[in-house]
Structure 1
Amino acid sequence: MKIIVIEDEVDILKGIQEVIEQSGLPFEQVFAVHTAEEALTVIEQCRPEIILTDILLPEMSGLDMLESVKAFGYQPKVVVISSYSNFMYAQRSIQLGAVDYILKPAQKEELIEKIGSVYDMVQRERISADQIKNQMAYARLGTEALKEKFVLGLCMHKTALQEHIHHRLQVWDLQWLETHSYVVISLSINKDEFRGKEDKDINLDLFAIGNIAEDIMMSYQPSVMIRSIHHDWVILTAWEQEQDVAQDIHDRVLKYQKIKPAIGISPRMHSFQAISVAYEQARKALKIAILNSSNRIVSYSDITDRMDEENDVRISQWVAEAVLDGDDEAVRRWLGEAMERFMLDRDVSKTGDLSIKCFEWILEVHSSLAEKVDMEISHFPMELWEKAERCPTVDDLKLLLQEHLSELMKLVLDQQQPSHPNYMIDKAKRIIEAKYGEEVTLQSVADELNIHPVWLSRLFKKETGQNFLDYLTEIRIEQAKQLLRGTNLKIYEIAEKIGYHEIQYFGKLFKKRTNMTPKEFRYGK
């Protein structure tokens, strides 16, 4: 606490200063000045809590000085001292906020008593102000806690917009949830990346991330941010460029905390009742973002969520079929969709959990392959499992599985080539020549030969120099030539007889092969 004494008489000023310093009152500083002008400079800079001033001072009176102090925007305790017992002075000093009035000459004991009384008054007000401040802080904390609980309830449970909910939204200044479209954004970190850190340190990181995000969200209003039951952060915002919001949070957290946060974004919702749905979708997107080190901002709309439970069961069969077909692109696509769905599984929360899921799935793929081909592939899984356990990220795990499936694809194609290719192709040609007028396809011929269509296609090309469809077309066009010259059948009848049901397609194909239309060929042009 600080006190300033303003007195133009040197001896009196020095005496008052000595009384204060010897009083035992724990003032931090005691300022002593001779004029009101000097006093105003000290008061403006140091803001002493107590001002003890004479009334009659050179150039500017003490009371005029107090008028000027009002402009400084604070309220010191003022004690006025004067040798004049004029009531008018006392009255004006009280109007200017003086808490006491002392007449000269004042006794030492009286002076100490007066200053001590004002000192105690300031102390009591300080304590009271601190108590009020603390009570207001607790009240704000309580209010925020109730608001968070209310919003969290909207996220966790589907809630209809009833009258009492409408009033509570108004109380918390959340009525925009009724009138605006909005998204839910979930924000967290991949705790696997913080191995070796204690839980309290991880929580401090999460708290710091929350502070950064909360500060950022001040620029993206209307919004509300809460802590979820999972101890990460949830943001509801009506800001229309939600990707910009997420990117801003991501970049600033990375800049200031050196952490890549994971962010999941729900689709934009247009009804209040959909808050819980949006929350669940944001949580699913967050889960993908946590596990995916290459993309830490994930929108739910980008997640593959098209397959039903029946398709979940069949996905390993589809991958097996793609392996048999030698379709590397399909293998990669199904693998990506399978891994996304595994990441959304309730039992998967870290890369190790995902590795287990993927290993079980690879066993299903192997089982599906075993039903279709006669070969030994069971030695792969354990070796794969050992490698999968060492994968630090989802990207590493995905690459490992892609390499494994590519190896399977090569193994299947290399080991399942027919042992007598010439005999097999001759037999395929005979089937084509006998059934060219029917719905002949690569698959139907492969089925008759009891081999895979991919192998038949590759073998046919290798042995004949042309692909299956070209050979079939060649046989059909040769038959058409014979029928055009040797019969009176109409052109559309000939087309149907050799396996083409659309005469225009047949005409284009015939001309492409012979440089003549069927009619021109018939009449010998």
Structure 2
Amino acid sequence: MRVLIVDDEMGIREGLHSFFPWTTYGITEVWMAEDGDTALALALEHKPELIITDMKMKRMSGLQLLDALLKEADFSWKAVVVSGYDDFEIVRQAMKLGAFDYLLKPINTSELGQVIERAISQLERERIDRHNQILLNSHVENALHKMSEELLKEIVEQEYDVYRESRIIHRLQTLHLEWIARDRITVMIIEVDDLKALDNKKGYRNEKELILFGIGNVVKQTVDEEYSQAFVSYEDVKHRWVVLLQCQDVSQWEKGKSLAMICMERIETYVKVKVSIGLCPTLVSLKQLHAGYVETGEILEQKALYGGNRLWTSHEWEEKMEPSDPSIRTSDEVMDLVRYGSDMDIVMAMDRFADLFNPSSSSHIKDVQQNIFEWLLSIFKKAVSLGWSDRSWERNPIAIWDQLEQYDTLDSLRVQVQAFLLAIADDFRKQTSSPSRLIQEAEKYIQASYGDGLTLQSVAAAIYVTPVWLSKLFKKEKQMTFLEYVTDVRMERAKKLLGDVQYKIYQIATIVGYKDPVHFAKLFKREIGLTPKEYRRLQGIDDE
């Protein structure tokens, strides 16, 4: 415990400091000040539990000190004021300002000891009361959190029951969540990519719980900082974080998209895991909340095909993923452009040349020319590794630089780079596989591996093409998306297996590549027009 002695008479200060048995009362630090200004600074720095102060002092008086402490101190303290016989009005004012007791001059050490004992006893009681209040608040907060979580699971994960509506609305009001019943909502689901693999790592006890706890904290803090409307979050039965956002219009839904991207970035930064996030494409009411949750979960399932660490907002993600024009941002994309794209694809891709080599980031045209030169050399090296026959640039790279140096505008430089890419493309067309051959390889791989966890990325890697171009070529050659083709293959295989009595429907779902039998049944119904059970009955099988 700490004490601060405040008196403008050195004899009184030093006497109390040196001759009073402070340690007997458990006081280990004794500070001194000669006026209120110095005392206030010391008090705010060292936070003494007990302050013994004279009332009449030069500069800041004892009363002014107490008033300042009431306004500025962020710690618990008790003050004992020291006064003469004719200062009772000042003492009365001090008591109004929270002084614990007062002593008359000259100070009697026995009386001082008794006052200190009472002050310490009072401080201890107040400390216990604060501790008990914190515990009580914690218990109440935990109880409210649990009640909130149970209610959210009921209204989100279960179908809406009109007979429970009044009871649900009353509970929402009790938990200050009445906006869920009143306003439009969008549903966000945050799922850890490869959570089971993380949980099974040796040496990481309770890793899953720690990861989910960390994600919950990051999400709550991020939404609280970045989103101006009401929200609530909880962990669902599938160990995903579900966030309900008060969302009245499209502009707020767009803000929800930005919010999801921020959450994804911060989770990777602070929790060190990658997540996928699904955002319901429609705004829903309380009655539609379960349907919105289910739809968002189904949208999120697309990561099984296309890979995780993305934001999903619709079932047509593949089409949105495919750029309206080919890209030249990476050497792999450029190689796919020149090997599988048309001359028109290359010309259209060069429309974004200025974005890739923005002169505003360089102080001189020479810097732009240098960047383009280095980029071209990296493209040439990549092309050679893939079978490009022209090696003249390798023997004389200075000739490339001399050619670029003749042009001092970005548009003229673009024309030169475009000519290089068209020449490479023409050479590749004479010697490499056609896009049709590439799609045939993809089909062969899918036919052999449809039961595995196929993704656009895994198939693209198997046939040595970028995912963007595999998607583009599928639409061009097959007139369908990658997902549509994989689904067709799986459904055809499922139809054959449904005619074999030895397989249960849930087993067939797994065989053809779907972990969730319910999701499989929904897809089968959508594609075939019948549920798996109905289709099986048409085959004369009724064993389930």
Question: Could you state the TM-score of these two structures normalised by the residue count of structure 2?
Answer: 0.54
Partner residue in 2 for 1:137:
138
SS of equivalent to 1:301 = coil
Q: CA deviation at 1:125?
A: 0.7
1:48 and 2:48 matched: yes
Matched, 1:337 2:448: no
1:240 to 253, 257, 277: 253
Who is 1:224 aligned against? 232
Cα distance between partner residues in 2 of 1:61 and 1:334? 82
Residue matched to 1:154:
155
- 2:9 aligned with 1:9: yes
- Which residue does 1:296 correspond to in 2? 310
Structure 2 residue aligned with 1:169: 172
Q: What corresponds to 1:276 in structure 2? A: 290
Q: Is the contact between residue 224 and residue 236 of structure 1 (CA under 8 Å) also seen in structure 2?
A: yes
CA RMSD of aligned residues (A): 3.8
SS in 2 for 1:84: coil
Pairing of 1:415-434 with structure 2 (within 5 A): none
Give the deviation of 1:31 after TM superposition.
0.9
Displacement of 1:55 after TM fit?
2.5
Tell me the distance in 1 between the aligned counterparts of 2:24 and 2:488: 76
CA distance in structure 1 between the aligned counterparts of 2:487 and 2:495, rounded to whole angstroms? 18
3-state SS in 1 of match to 2:288: helix
Q: Which runs of 5+ in 2 are unaligned?
A: 319-442, 448-472, 500-510, 514-544
Equivalent position SS for 1:56: coil
Please list the CA deviations of residues 118-143 of structure 1 after superposition, one character each: whole Å capped at 9, or x if unmatched.
Answer: 12211211121121122112212211
- The verdict on how the C-alpha distance between 1:77 and 1:244 changes in structure 2, with shifts beyond 3 A counting, is same
What is the DSSP-based 3-state SS (H/G/I as helix, E as strand, rest coil) of the residue aligned with 1:186? strand
1:122 aligns with 2:123: yes
Secondary structure of 1:270 counterpart: coil
1:196 corresponds to which residue?
A: 201
Cα deviation for residue 52 of structure 1 reads 0.4
Alpha-carbon distance, 1:341 to partner: 9.1
Aligned-partner SS, 1:31: strand
Deviation of the 1:91 alpha carbon: 2.3
1:25 aligns to 2:29 (yes or no): no
Which deviates further from its counterpart, 161-170 or 234-243?
161-170
Structure 1 stretches of 4+ with a deviation exceeding 6 A read 327-332
Whole-angstrom CA distance in 2 between matches of 1:46 and 1:39: 10
Give the superposition deviation at 1:54.
1.9
Partner of residue 93, structure 1: 94
Q: Give 1:271 deviation, angstroms.
A: 3.1
Count, aligned residues: 337
| Shift in alpha-carbon separation, 1:235–1:60, aligned structure 2, 3 A | closer
Shift of 1:35: 2.3
**Which digits, 9 at most, give the CA deviation of each residue in 1:344-393, with x for residues without a partner?**
xxxxxxxxxxxxx89x949959x9xxxxxxxxxxxxxxxxx9xx99xxxx
Measure how far apart 1:192 and its partner are.
4.8
Contact 1:184 1:234 in 2 (8 A): yes
Amino acid at match of 1:184: V
- 1:351 is aligned to none
What is the Cα deviation at residue 186 of structure 1? 1.4
The match for 1:261 is 275
Equivalent pair of 2:83/2:91 in contact (CA under 8 Å) = no
How far is the alpha carbon of 1:116 from its aligned partner?
Answer: 2.1
Separation in 2, partners of 1:101, 1:341? 90
CA contact (8 A) 1:288 1:340 kept: no
**In structure 1, how many angstroms separate the alpha carbons of the residues matched to 2:48 and 2:206?**
43
Residue 196 (structure 1) shift = 2.0
Corresponding letter in the other structure for 1:284: E
* Cα drift, residue 53 of structure 1: 1.1
Quick check: 2:82–2:104 contact (8 Å CA) kept in 1?
A: yes
Matched, 1:180 2:183: yes
Residues 19 and 112 of structure 1 are in contact (CA less than 8 Å); yes or no, is this contact kept in structure 2?
no
Matches within 5 A, 1:368-517: none
Matches within 5 A, 1:293-372: 293=307, 296-302=310-316, 333=480, 336-337=483-484, 339=486, 361=493, 364=496
Measure, in 2, the Cα distance between the counterparts of 1:140 and 1:44: 31
Q: For residues 284 and 47 of structure 1, do their structure 2 counterparts lie closer, same or farther at Cα, with a shift above 3 Å needed?
A: same
Q: How many angstroms does 1:290 deviate by?
A: 5.5
Residues 2 and 29, structure 2, Cα contact 8 Å, conserved in 1:
yes
TM-score by length of 1: 0.56
What secondary structure does 2:273 align onto? coil
2:494 and 2:154 map into 1 onto residues whose CA distance is 40
- Report the secondary structure of 1:98's partner residue: coil
Moved more, 280-289 or 15-24: 15-24
The residue aligned with 2:366 is none
- One-letter amino acid of the counterpart of residue 249, structure 1: C
